[in-house]
Structure 1
Amino acid sequence: METKPLSAMPKLKTNLDTDFLKLIAILSMVIDHVGTAFFPEYPAFRWAGRLAFPIFAYCLTVGLLYTRDIRKYLLRLGAFALISQPFYIFAFHPWDWQAEWMNMNIFFTLLVSLLALWGVHTRRWWLFLALFLLASFVNFDYSANGIVLMLIFYLCRNRPVLGAAVYVLFWLPALWGGQMEDPLSVKIAGHAINWTIFAVLSAFPIFLPTHTGIKVPKWFFYAFYPAHLAAIGLARVILNV
């Protein structure tokens, strides 16, 4: 059975103001990375960073539905995943990079998730299953959660209320998943909440349409990721932290 070309897919009823969303995600990511590198004792930096990944995953889902050439889209994402990897190691593991080089940067997670979603769209179920298993067992950030999130955004693309509800439900187990000994968990009245619960806040910019009119060159978002990692790594080396 033939599948529709991506350009013929129904358009989304969620937020299409993706350049604005990407700027929110970048700000969240930078706060997270600065906290990881320089202020690990302050969990609020990491909490603020939980907004970034779901927004990036959503924007890639939009990209899948609107792109005219999914292969070029995937190749571009893969190229920047490879380019960014040494900068990622430099930023977060500058002193023990030999042991940490297989810790994959977020571009790899997004690439695998997008390719798996493309498998769903084209009914290549074997591809979806293979990549889901790969993301589950290889050392990717967020494991297979990226695939699940993109699947939620994809399947609920024309039902924003349902999408928001499913998205919130996806993160609700975090309310019972915290550990008191985890410095990043939220402690309330002797109960620990897993810090990933803050990702719920991404539902607002994702499912509530905005119309800022902000336009940013697409290459800025790709280039910013390795550039900010290089800056963090250089600062850590200079400051010896």
Structure 2
Amino acid sequence: MDQRTAQRQPAPRLRTNLDTDFLKLIAILSMLLDHIGAVFFPEHPAFRWVGRLAFPIFCYCMTVGLLYTRDIKRYLGRLGLFALISQPCYILATHPWDWQTEWMNWNIFFTLFLSLLAMWGFQTRRWWLFAAAFLCVSLFNFDYSGNGILLMLIFFLCRERPGLGAGLYILFWLPALWSGSPEDPRALLAAGHAVDWTAFALLAAPFIFLPARTGIRVPKWFFYAFYPAHLLTIGVIRLAAGI
């Protein structure tokens, strides 16, 4: 390729890790350990620490999807559909004994759906859509509140500057290093200091910002189906065990 041809080539929209199937496998394994720990081993916070990798990796993979998908509306439709399918499974796994009062604790697919919707509004300059989705996810009972949108903004705006993106990502989670509570069983206690459990999301940074080429390929429907399937399994075991 000569210099003139190279100059005509479009710049990559992302210079971070495009090995998203590999990333999603890490995220769902992290999520699985998180949920197993939350339900069956709450006295062992290490499960929850590992689980902090899942959400930022999912947000990053959605940013990749936003930039490269052929049909954003179908992408949103899949997320919305599996959010609805997953809701009874989520309640079964997390609140099986008081589902009547907890059914409006929305599962993470709803958060991801609204985060992607907001970012689509941002990308297309539909500011009203961005504002509406951000307010909805922030004001109502969604996991991670507006943090998904803020993370996706970092990934999107720094898509060609991974060093800056990594720096902003670290700054985003940095306050968790000194904001932990000693009374929180999920916190890491070190020399009398409590590190908030969300600080372990920092460990996702190398996976997101360092390119990888594993060659792993997984059918996309596997990642969608895994979420309600693992929640349903946990919920059934929980009911059977009377936990």
- Counterparts of 1:194 and 1:135, CA distance in 2: 22
1:3 is aligned to: none
Q: Indicate how the Cα distance of structure 1 residues 9 and 73 shifts in structure 2: closer, same or farther if over 3 A, else same.
A: farther
Per the alignment, residue 162 of structure 2 pairs with 160
Say whether residues 1:233 and 2:238 are aligned partners.
no
TM-score if structure 2 supplies the norm length? 0.94
| Partners of 2:80 and 2:43 in 1: CA distance | 33
Pair 1:198-2:186 in alignment: no
Moved more, 51-60 or 128-137: 128-137
Q: Mapping of 1:60-139 within 5 angstroms?
A: 60-139=62-141
Unmatched 5+ stretches in structure 1: 1-7
Of residues 200, 207, 210, the one that matches 2:209 is 207
Give the distance between the partners of 2:142 and 2:214, measured in 1 at CA.
33
Q: Name the residue aligned to 1:149.
A: 151
- Corresponding residue number in structure 1 for 2:60: 58
Q: Which amino acid aligns with 2:237?
A: A
Provide the residue aligned with 1:14 in structure 2: 16
Distance 1:11 1:155 in 2: 10
Question: Displacement of 1:10 after TM fit?
Answer: 4.7
Give the Cα–Cα distance (whole angstroms) in 2 for the partners of residues 192 and 67 of structure 1: 41
User: How far apart, in 1, do the equivalents of 2:213 and 2:115 lie?
Assistant: 27
Q: Decide which moves more: 157-166 or 184-193.
A: 184-193
In the other structure, the counterpart of 2:3 is none
What letter corresponds to residue 100 of structure 1 in structure 2?
E
In 2, Cα distance between the equivalents of 1:59 and 1:237?
A: 33
- Partners of 2:242 and 2:78 in 1: CA distance: 34
Report the equivalent of 2:187: 185
State the superposition RMSD in angstroms: 1.1
d(CA) in 1 for partners of 2:232 and 2:172? Answer: 33
Report the Cα distance in structure 2 between the residues aligned to 1:10 and 1:100, rounded to whole angstroms. 44
Q: CA deviation at 1:165?
A: 0.6
Q: Report the Cα offset of residue 11 of structure 1.
A: 2.3
Q: Give the Cα–Cα distance (whole angstroms) in 2 for the partners of residues 188 and 140 of structure 1.
A: 31
Unaligned 5+ segments in structure 2 are: 1-9
Kindly tell me: are residues 76 and 86 of structure 1, through their superposed partners in 2, closer, same or farther at Cα, counting changes over 3 Å? Answer: same
- Check the 8 A contact 1:9/1:65 in 2, yes or no: no
- Residue 40 of structure 1 corresponds to 42
**In the aligned structure 2, how far is the partner of 1:114 from the partner of 1:29?**
19
- Give secondary structure in 1 for the equivalent of 2:194: strand
Matches of 1:217 and 1:87 in 2, distance apart?
A: 22
Aligned to 1:4: none
Contact 1:117–1:151 at 8 Å: present in 2 too?
yes
- Identity, in percent, stands at 71
**Helix, strand or coil for the counterpart of 1:187?**
strand
Matched residues, number: 234
Runs of 4+ in structure 1 displaced over 3 angstroms? none
Residue identity opposite 1:221 in structure 2: F
| TM-score normalised to structure 1 length | 0.95
Task: Name which of structure 1's ranges 219-228 and 127-136 shifts more when overlaid on structure 2.
Answer: 127-136
Residue 52 of structure 2 aligns to a residue whose secondary structure is helix
Q: Which amino acid aligns with 2:238?
A: R
Which amino acid letter does the alignment assign opposite residue 56 of structure 1? F
Q: CA deviation at 1:71?
A: 0.5
Determine the C-alpha separation between the residues in 2 that align with 1:25 and 1:169: 21
